[in-house]
């Protein structure tokens, strides 16, 4: 089942299926931080009131990202 990364609940792990960004350069910045198709991501925490997400990419990289940036990342959730 594919969902937006921002819709993933804290503690859940998924695999990146696709990435899209309106902002020029955002995809390159995300790829530099380890966001690549096929990479595993885990949502660690979500801030209240549509605040940022705390995400682990791969095994060791942790990133805080804006919710609208996470909306552009589609992940495949396996239950």
Summarised one tens digit per residue, pLDDT across range 26-44 is 999 999 999 999 999 999 9
- Cβ–Cβ under 8 Å, residues 45 and 10: yes
- Average pLDDT value for residue range 18-22: 89
Question: Token pair of 65, please?
Answer: 């990202």
Question: Token pair of 56, please?
Answer: 């682990």
Alpha-carbon distance of 28 to 35, in angstroms, equals 9
Confidence of residue 21 (pLDDT cuts 50, 70, 90): confident
What pTM, to 2 d.p., does this model score?
Answer: 0.88
What percent of the chain has a predicted confidence (pLDDT) above 70? 99
Write down the pLDDT at residue 71. Answer: 93
């Amino acid at each position: 089942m594919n969902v937006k990364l921002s819709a993933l609940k804290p503690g859940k792990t998924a695999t990146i299926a696709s990435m899209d960004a309106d902002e020029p350069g955002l995809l390159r910045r995300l790829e530099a931080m380890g966001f690549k198709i096929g990479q595993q991501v885990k949502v660690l925490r979500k801030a209240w009131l549509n605040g940022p997400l705390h995400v682990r990419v791969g095994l060791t990289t942790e990133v805080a990202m804006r919710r609208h940036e996470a909306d552009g990342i589609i992940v495949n959730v396996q239950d």
